[in-house]
Amino acid sequence: GCIMDGKLYPFGEIARTESCFRCSCRPDAMRCCSLFHTPTGYDKENCEVVFNQKSCDYDVVQKSDPSKECFVYSRV
């Protein structure tokens, strides 16, 4: 298998690792890509970015009230 962040994964396709990556584990290599997109266009003065491990994505929330989401214009 392949080891990523101290965890052993079996050979083959891995839909989601514990660190939110989709990977292909082969005897000669492990190739991965992220399942999340980083917010770039949002109100940086009033909002902050928080990683949501459950959804494997970033939430953009109001600094004054983290229970309220902010509008995101773009992600990369």
Fold of 39-75: N-terminal domain of TfIIb (2.20.25)
pLDDT of residue 28: 94
Dist. CA 54–CA 36, nearest whole Å: 11
Interval 48-70 mean pLDDT: 96
Please, are residues 68 and 62 in contact by the beta-carbon 8 Å criterion? yes
pLDDT band at 58 (very low <50, low <70, confident <90, very high): very high
Question: Which sequence spans correspond to the domains of the chain?
Answer: 2-34, 39-75
Cα separation, 66 vs 42, in Å, equals: 15
